[in-house]
Chain A
Amino acid sequence: MLNTLLEALSLVSHLDNQVVAIVWLSFKVALATVTLATLIGLPLGALVAVASFPGRGAVTVFLNAMMGLPSVVVGVIVYLFLSRSGPFGDMGLLYSPTAMVMAQTVLVVPLIAALTRQIVEDAWRVYATEFRSMHFTLRHSVVALLYDCRYSLVVAVLAGTGRSLSEVGAVMIVGGNIEGYTRVMTTAIALETAKGDLPLSLALGMVLLTVVLLLNTGAYHLRLWAMRKYG
């Protein structure tokens, strides 16, 4: 155990190009995923929080349940859609980073939307009457609430980023873990573990952990700063 750890540390200290490429692809996929999922998830979550429509409760329960959606399930479903014998087979997107972004977006949108709904709904309770007195439409309310909650919503986006970076099931299935093309940190870890190369998977795991820790530290300080500035 200790030996494995020491070996892993020495591997981390001289990262080779291949590992850097894997880490870089992980970032790109996560960034694209989170950007897309945020653009969809924030308005969606806020809309569910603010709008009243029949089935709103069911949608809320659905979003909350989807937060725990197993990533392999999403992987298989997206696979079946993108497969040559599936409905979007003509696009030839299977086994590509684009497919990975798509699958992860499906995975992350409910997470961001569900957290957003919770945060925005709490704020909405406080503001609802005032917004109505200002004749706000749904769109005005959604925009103002998202803006007001922006520093709390960082947590939702961060949760999405964490899920995207650490998820392995979906990207493995739709990406295929192709070396130099769709291999990201998590699938590389899965492969190295399968090969019995535990130090290398541990080294990659350390990189992953460090990245996630740094992101969270950044977000924590952003919130502290925002609380001081905006009360």
Chain B
Amino acid sequence: MANFFRQLTIFLCVMLMAGIARADESIVVSSTTSTEQSGLFGHILPIFEAKTGIKVKVVALGTGQALDTARRGDADVVFVHDRPAEDKFVAEGWGVERRDVMYNDFVIVGPKTDASKVKGTPDVVEGFRRIAAGSAPFISRGDKSGTNAAELRFWKEANIDPKAWAGYKEAGAGMGPTLNMAAAMSGYTLADRGTWLSFKNRQDLEIVLAGDKRLFNPYGVMLVNPAKYPHVKKEAGMKFIDWITSREGQESIAAYKINGEQLFFPSAKN
């Protein structure tokens, strides 16, 4: 009887491990929460997979984390939005073949009542100044993401040290949780438009400032340097980079809409 159980468990184990470790051709793309949570990947990846048979495994992290993951060699392709950090990544030799893919824009989101009167100005830096002068809190991503990096640039331009202000809360989380916090605290935050449009638990939040040129948010894609990590799936990775910057890839990005509103705008130079 005990013997039977022993054999059964070994059999089960082998079956499970075999079933789980099935290998298709696949690449790992370390990307940002904004692309995953906005639903963009869910829209474009099936098209790419059907065309090439390459399975794309997206690991969604903040831009900083996504780049670090690639630095450790744990991704084949990086797809992020923080141009200065991307350039540094390439300059240090971690990435190659960097290309522009698309852009969207950041928006300042706040409570409908707009206690800090951000709605009155089109200037993003002025908007940040008004938030810091008001009593409503500002929720920062605080996670070294592309959005976080952009937000810190605006504080710097406004000559404000946000950490010295009591209303400044660092969530240390992705865009979604940060929006959840802002909704719960009737606070302001900087969000990418894509995540904002697909975000459901808005409660009293709405866009209070958008359209400033400085809110432009470009996304780039690059291959992890195969010279540093020989295991990087160079061919499959390049197929993905080529496709997403191709006419077909660009058109499918443009075709992704939520409630009739386009989330990302193609920007690849063909």
Contact = CB atoms under 8 A, between A and B. Distances in A.
Interface stretch (B13-21, B126-134, B149-157): B13-21
Given A84-B72, A84-B231, A35 B59 contact: no
Contacts of A178: 28, 57-59
B252 interface: no
A97 B20 contact: yes
B13 A95 contact: no
Interface in B69-113: 72-74
B211 interface: no
Contacts of B73: 83-85, 89
B176 A83 contact: no
Interface string B8-47: 0100110011011100000010000100110001100000
User: Which of B2, B72, B199 has the most CB atoms of chain A within a 10 A radius of its CB?
Assistant: B72
A221 B151 CA distance: 57
A214 interface: no
B20 A98 contact: yes
Interface residues of B, number: 39
Contact of B59 (A31, A177, A195, A196): A177
Contacts of A32: 13, 16-17, 20
Nearest to B49: A180
Given A35-B9, A36-B13, A83-B74, A191 B37 contact: yes
Interface residues of A, number: 36
Contacts of B64: none
10 smallest beta-carbon distances between A and B, as pairs: A194-B176, A196-B201, A84-B73, A176-B59, A32-B16, A196-B200, A97-B20, A178-B57, A85-B72, A196-B199
Interface of B: 2, 9, 12-13, 16-17, 19-21, 28, 33, 36-37, 41-42, 55, 57-60, 72-74, 173-177, 179-180, 183, 195, 198-202, 229, 231
6 contacts: A28-B16, A83-B72, A84-B73, A84-B74, A193-B180, A196-B201
